[in-house]
Structure formats: C-alpha cells, structure tokens
C-alpha cells in the first residue's frame, strides 16, 4: 500500500510527518511526504487572531486531501478546527507529547521573576490571557510573537523579548528541551493547554476504507478519547481556535477527567470546570463529557466573553 502524507514545511511539521511515516511503515506502507504551504505560513507577521478565518494552518492541507492530491493529512491537533469538513474524518492520533506551555528566558527563572515593564512574547490569545491572569497586578507587556520555534528563540536571544511562552511539545520534538527555563508554573491545572496540544491529528477522507482501517491500527485510543473530549468542549462553546479557552483531559483511575477554562479577553477573569466521565475509551462518551463540561461552565459572564470572541472573529473575517 502506498500513502501520500500532506504536511506543512516547517521543521516541526516535518518532524511530525516523519513520526507518522515511521509508524505507518511498521504496517508495511510505502509513504510519500508532500509539502503544502498554508495561509499561516504565507503570512508570518500578523497575529494569528488577525488572520481571520479558522484553520489558517490546516485549510490548504484539507483541500489537497479532498482533491485527492494526498491520502492523509498530519496536523498539530491544536491547529485543526473542531468543525468537521464534509468528506473528511479525524481518524487517529499517536503518542502525546508534554501538553504544557513553558516559560523560556535568558534572564529570568520563572514568570514571577519578571520585573515591571518586562516584554513577553506569545502568538496565542489563550496564553496571553492566562499569563495576564497569573501575573495580574504586575505591569508587564505581553506582545504578539509569530514564526516557527527557531525564529521565536532567535528573537528572544536577540533581546527583542525578556521571555517567551511556547509549547513544550514543539521544543522537545525539535531538540530544544534544554531551553525551557520553567516547566512547572505554566503546567496543568494552573495553566491549561489548547485543546489537542501536544497531539498529532491524522485526517483522511471519510470514504477511504483502506486508510481508515490502517489508521485504526495505529490509533492510540486513550489519547484519542482525551483529545476528543477537549475538542468537544471547545466545539460546544463555539469559541474557535483563537479563543482564550483551555482544556486538558486525562485518565485518572480509569475515568476520563476533563479540566476546562475560559478567560476574559483582558485576562482579568477566569472560569473553570472539572468533570469526570464513565470508565472506558469510547469516543462518543468522551465527546459527551466535553459537551457536558461546556454546558456547566456557561454563565451570563461566560456568554458575554464568548460573544466578544465571536465578534472579534467576525470582524477579522470581513
């Protein structure tokens, strides 16, 4: 069997595609990796929130899949929109890397050491809002930071920022784990990751029986259940990929447990929910867990935040 994998061309995306290739080759699959440039790759200057439509790192890859130019798409799952695309199916995920966000600095040991006026870089509204909430009362600047992992580290080393907030998964996968200054204070449950963070999303055509059967063999069912719950939480809130919403699901004593969070856009308010599901790995049960958690976190205050997020998204799409 031959299978064409579509992926972005960044070093991290290629690492991820190669990880999938090695897994598939264990099943006697001949793999070709196809490079695809996305809207997020073409525009490396604007903040993600300003790029407008969802899926700036996924849409072109999904179109190639629908056009049958590729047979399998490999995504950083946190970048894959939760709204399903007709004809496509998120079929599998592999081993999950560290889900945490981490603090990286050449000057300071942890976020609490940052002095007044310090400049922190991040490309994520979720990270920005959580950091603002954690450091409320401290007068620091949290500015947009785009680019691949290497570019962000170079900007930090050049003194453009006093610290940056990055995903532990990307740093570790590219061999930059030694650059992590503080891996504790931005870890769950104090600091929640994006839904699907640290996981790979393997997507194929819904009518491709051979690919679906192959992905069923390599799928890690526990991780699939966890990220399904996280994505269902985000989907039920209709916040989209840019929203200041965090979620982290994991198995505790055989039961899938989900922590969910939403923050105000200025980082001054935070709302949390924790919910445990029934034992087992059933994706439908995991989906219900995420949906129920979303129902429980909603309040008039949360509805107001979600309204702001939707207006922000709509304004950027015009």
User: Quick one: DSSP state of residue 114?
Assistant: P
Return the beta strands (E) in the chain as ranges. Answer: 2-7, 30-35, 72-76, 88-92, 101-104, 119-122, 141-144, 163-167, 200-205, 245-252, 255-263, 270-279
- Other Cβ atoms less than 10 A from the Cβ of 218: the count is 17
189 burial class (0-12, 13-18, 19+ CB within 10 angstroms)? exposed
User: 122 near 134, Cβ under 8 Å?
Assistant: no
Helix (H/G/I), strand (E/B), else coil: 137: coil
d(C-alpha 8, C-alpha 44), whole Å: 14
Write a three-state SS string for 67-96. CCCCCEEEEEHHHCCCCCCCCEEEEECCCC
**Which 8-state DSSP code applies to residue 229?**
H
d(CA 214, CA 313): 37
Output DSSP code: residue 265: T
CB burial of residue 34 (10 Å; 0-12, 13-18, 19+): middle
CA–CA gap between residue 62 and residue 81 (Å, rounded): 11
> Could you list the active site residues?
79
Question: H or E stretch including 218?
Answer: helix 209-218
């Amino acid at each position: 069997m031959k299978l064409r994998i579509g992926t972005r061309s960044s070093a991290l995306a290629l690492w991820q595609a190669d990880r999938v290739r090695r897994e598939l080759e264990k099943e006697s699959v001949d793999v070709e990796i196809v490079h695809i440039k996305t809207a997020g790759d073409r525009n490396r200057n604007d903040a993600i929130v300003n790029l407008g439509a969802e899926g700036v790192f996924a849409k072109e890859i999904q179109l190639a899949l629908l056009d049958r130019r590729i047979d399998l798409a490999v995504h950083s799952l946190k970048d894959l929109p939760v709204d399903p695309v007709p004809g496509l199916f998120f079929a599998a995920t592999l081993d999950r890397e560290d889900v945490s966000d981490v603090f990286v600095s050449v000057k300071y040991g942890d976020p609490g050491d940052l002095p007044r006026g310090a400049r922190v870089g991040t490309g994520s509204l979720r990270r920005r809002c959580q950091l603002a909430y954690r450091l409320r009362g401290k007068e620091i600047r949290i500015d947009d930071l785009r680019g691949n992992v290497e570019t962000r580290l170079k900007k930090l080393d050049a003194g453009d920022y006093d610290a940056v907030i990055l995903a532990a998964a990307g740093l570790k996968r590219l061999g930059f784990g030694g650059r992590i200054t503080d891996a504790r204070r931005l870890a769950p449950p104090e600091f929640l990751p994006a839904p699907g963070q640290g996981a790979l999303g393997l997507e194929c055509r819904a009518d491709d029986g051979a690919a679906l059967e192959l992905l069923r063999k390599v799928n890690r069912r526990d991780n699939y259940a966890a990220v399904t719950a996280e994505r269902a939480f985000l989907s039920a809130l209709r916040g989209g990929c840019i929203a200041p919403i965090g979620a982290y699901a994991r198995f505790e004593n055989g039961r899938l447990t989900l922590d969910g969070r939403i923050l105000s856009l200025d980082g001054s308010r935070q709302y949390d929910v924790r919910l445990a599901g029934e034992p087992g790995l059933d994706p439908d049960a995991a989906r219900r867990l995420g949906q129920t958690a979303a129902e429980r976190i909603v309040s008039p205050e949360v509805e107001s935040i979600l309204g702001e997020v939707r207006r922000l998204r709509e304004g950027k799409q015009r």
